[in-house]
Structure 1
Amino acid sequence: MKKRLSILIALALAFTMVSSPAKAQDKVHLLWGMWGSPDEIATHQKAADAYMAKNPNVEIELWSQPWGDYFTKMTALFTAGDGTVIPDVFFMSPIQDYAAAAKIMDLTPFIEKSNFDLKDYWPGALESTSYQGKVYGLPRDSAVEVLYYDKDDFDAAKLSYPTADWTWDDLRKAAEALTIKDANGRITRYGLAAEGSKYFNFVGGNGGAILDDMFKPTQCKLSTPESIAGVEYFAGLMNDNLAWRDANLGQAGGDQAVFLSDQASMFIQNASRIPALNTAGINYDIAPVPKAPSGGRQAGSTNGAAWVMSALTQKQDAAWEFMQFLQSPDGGQAVYFSAGDSFPPTKSGANSDVFMAKDRKPENKQAFLIDAESAPPNGNGWFPEWNELSSTIISPVLTSIWAGEAKPADVLPGLCENVDKYLADHGYKK
């Protein structure tokens, strides 16, 4: 009897030793990476909490970095090559260099296996997350840019609010009326705040372009008359002290900071600023970015950042399930639509009652829909060498223009010669 009992106890202990680790392993830990402001990170945490509430066996840990540090730190993680500390799912834009370097997973097999519907995405949004015909990322948003404006400032200056019919002339006149100087001639408020990267709204809106093809480029187009005119207009606002210079804007904390402190009456940006403005109680609204005076259009852009999966993750199935949740109308997208900090990457989301809610600013959310159906993914190159080309050749020249140190017509032709040589040297031939 004692021998039999001993055997049973031994078996029970053995079962416990085997089964306990198995239960511990049932808990899946996913590391989720992104950049963003505190308001944006708080929204991501809400999405993670919503997923964990529905999936108690999954733990989502956020890995967040400021925009300025994110890409450097992500590069360092992949250089070290330790898949256990690289986020399983993370934010990336553009994705093409990561796809070409096999740092992220081709999602096509997962999409096909789960019958994930891609038809609802804005065409440009899906294009921007693809490489060589394969989908490597799920668009988290569509970075359509609009003109934010302070209604109180406009009222005080007795100006009509911006509309979809506004041209560059209207924008300049408003900036002139809204710019304020103190008794010593020091500017205390600029009419406009816009990062240097927003120049494409004026280049593209005037029929110009950065490259002939943002996916398979062969030629620089910044030296065309249309492109030069767009750059000249944008630089002119800075040179005439109607808009913050790019470098000074960065030092002042960015467009959101100067708008909230009434150091700018207007700024150009995507939907990411909405939560902070709503929290601050600013009396504001939005309008489409103004068009060129003669035959122009809103440049439009449906590219945005994407959620991607690390090629080094050991939790592919769990990561894919989480990515699907982030894209579902009643899951992650509902969280983001309610926060209003991103323009939906899907047509149904953009027109949903949740995103278009009238009880939450801005009132004129229709401004985001301008050109969204047909707009290509502009402003960025969607090929592996874009980041290097942009940072080493294009950006230094544009930076000198925004600083007032160079004239567009003088330097853009030479810039294009260097871009064309770079493209040819890297196999992008005419």
Structure 2
Amino acid sequence: MLEDLTPYIQKSSYNTGDYWPALLESSSYQNKIYGFPRDIGVEALYYNKDLLDKAGVAYPTDKWTWDDLKAALQKLSVVEANGRVKQYGLAMEGGKWSLWLNQNKASMLDDMRNPSKCTLTEPAALDAIKFFAGLMNDKLAMRDADLSQAGGDAAVFQSGQAAMIIQNSSRVSAFNTAGLKYDVAPVPIPANGQRAASAGGAAWVMSAKSDNKDAAWTFLSWLQSADGGEKLYTLSGEIFPALKTVAQSDAFLKSGSPPANRQAFLTEAENAKVGRFGYFPDWDEMGGSIIDSGLQKVWAGEQTADEAVPAICTQVDAFLKDKGYPKQ
């Protein structure tokens, strides 16, 4: 069991306002905070400068839309006469699909905290799913299964098999070690859409059975302080920090290492929102076994969104009803 940190926060006046928007909600339950996220998993668009230069594609900016992204991918993807793809424009893990959904102002459920029904059949949601699936069907982006077999997005980006990837800051250290010529930009959004970064990260917690809770709190609050653990982890290049003051400091922005446009991560973090995953106990089971499992058929090109999504929603609605949602 986890210890409720709320009393310690109140007693010590710990500054929870320094966390990115909605981030603490990922480690909270029923208005009680049970953990402090060490980082925030916001994604950026990584791009290989050499491959973009070769294809005559301008480097992406924070003004790019989905249309701009697709136009760039059409120039970057190299398909041989036999249909084999020599180089993909984009590689993105299928599990990140909800980024497109939330950017298009859509949602999986009518309430991500206490849902009553699936909303993936709504037009904005279907359009987002079709956009991602269309990139794969048109051979502009790698299929999720192919990406996994190729060793993941870091492997295909480093080998030049993909000119762009969408990923969080966890790839920075590896790409710098490999000496890649790359940079990052905010993820393109649809016209009239919104930025919708993931408000989640790995969290430090305290056991409810700890023998010395006061000492545990002292260490935990140091780990999550701007001059303590957060700064050390940031200087090591391991994380994009959960604390805004650390991300806005020279420790992150002027590290002296690529990417040059580190501001892209801040742009995304400033727009972190609830919606990329559920905030209720049965989310992992429902999200994994029904939603993600059903959408794999779309990412694989075995079904269209119009074929797969209504069946997914039927299963989700039955699951929610069986589990007694919405909770009173």
- TM class by shorter-chain length? over 0.9
1:288 aligns with 2:186: yes
Query: Secondary structure of the equivalent of 1:189?
Result: strand
TM-aligned CA deviation for residue 312 of structure 1: 4.2
Match of 1:402 in 2: 299
> Which residue does 1:156 correspond to in 2?
54
Cross-structure match for 1:300: 197
What does residue 235 of structure 1 align with? 133
Q: Which residue of 2 aligns with 1:273?
A: 171
CA gap of 1:322–1:188, structure 2 versus 1, over 3 A, is farther
> 2:258 matched to 1:341?
no
Contact 2:2/2:34 (8 A) holds in 1 = yes
Identical pairs, percent:
50
Give 1:182 deviation, angstroms: 4.7
**Which residue number corresponds to residue 386 of structure 1?**
283
Task: Please give the alpha-carbon distance, in whole angstroms, between the structure 1 residues aligned to 2:204 and 2:170.
Answer: 16
DSSP-derived class of the 2:324 partner? coil
Query: 1:361 is matched with which residue: 258, 268, 281?
Result: 258
Change (3 A) 1:291 1:374: closer
Matched, 1:411 2:308: yes
SS in structure 2 at match of 1:389:
helix
Look up the match of 1:3.
none
Letter in 1 for 2:283: W
- Whether the 8 Å CA contact 2:42–2:272 is kept in 1: the answer is no
Q: Which residue of 2 aligns with 1:320?
A: 217
Provide the residue aligned with 2:106 in structure 1. Answer: 208
The separation in 1 between residues aligned to 2:211 and 2:77, in whole angstroms, is: 55
Matched, 1:249 2:136: no
Secondary structure at 1:113 match in 2:
helix
Q: Are residue 124 (structure 1) and residue 7 (structure 2) matched?
A: no
Offset at residue 196 of structure 1 (A): 0.5
SS in 2 for 1:266: strand
Secondary structure of the corresponding residue to residue 123 of structure 1: coil
Distance 1:311 1:405 in 2: 47
Is contact 2:235-2:255 (8 Å) kept? no
1:262 aligns with 2:160: yes
Report deviation, 1:192.
Answer: 0.5
1:341 deviation in Å?
3.4
Return 407-416 or 321-330, whichever deviates more.
321-330
Structure 2 counterpart of 1:144: 42
Tell me the distance in 1 between the aligned counterparts of 2:130 and 2:211.
50
CA distance in 2, matches of 1:217, 1:359: 45
| Structure 1 residue 422 corresponds to structure 2 residue 319 | yes
Partner amino acid for 2:206?
M
Q: Could you tell which deviates more after superposition, 190-199 or 305-314?
A: 305-314
Q: Taking structure 1 as reference, are residues 371 and 243 closer, same or farther at Cα in structure 2, changes over 3 Å only?
A: closer
Q: Is the 8 A contact 2:199 2:276 kept in 1?
A: no
Over residues 194-222 of structure 1, what are the superposed CA-to-partner deviations in whole Å (9 max), with x where a residue is unaligned? 00112112111111111122222222111
SS of the residue 1:307 aligns to? strand
- Report Cα offsets for 1:378-422 as digits up to 9, x if no partner: 311111110011122111111111111111112212211221221
Unpaired runs of 5+ residues, structure 2, are none
CA deviation vs aligned residue, 1:216-264 (integer Å, no higher than 9, x gap): 2222111110000000010111111111111111121111111011111
Distance 2:81 2:294 in 1: 35
Matched residue type, 1:109: P
Quote how far apart the aligned CAs of 1:371 are.
5.0
Q: Equivalents in 2 of 1:391, 1:420: separation in Å?
A: 15
d(CA) in 1 for partners of 2:172 and 2:268?
A: 20
Give every structure 1 segment of 4 or more consecutive aligned residues whose post-TM-superposition deviation is greater than 6 Å.
Answer: none
Cα gap change, 1:341/1:130 in structure 2, threshold over 3 Å: closer, same or farther? Answer: same
Shift in alpha-carbon separation, 1:253–1:316, aligned structure 2, 3 A: farther
Q: In structure 2, the residue corresponding to 1:124 is in which secondary structure?
A: coil
Shift of 1:372: 3.0
Which whole-Å CA distance do the structure 1 matches of 2:31 and 2:264 have between them?
Answer: 31
How much does 1:274 deviate?
0.8
Looking at structure 2, the residues matched to 210 and 146 of structure 1 have their Cα atoms a distance apart, in angstroms, of: 22
Q: Which structure exhibits the higher relative contact order, with contacts defined as CA atoms closer than 8 Å and separated by 6 or more residues?
A: 2
Whether contact under 8 Å (1:270, 1:342) holds in the other structure is: no
For residue 131 of structure 2, give the secondary structure of its aligned residue in structure 1.
Answer: helix
TM-score by length of 2: 0.94
Q: How many residues align?
A: 327
Offset of 1:343 from its aligned partner?
2.2
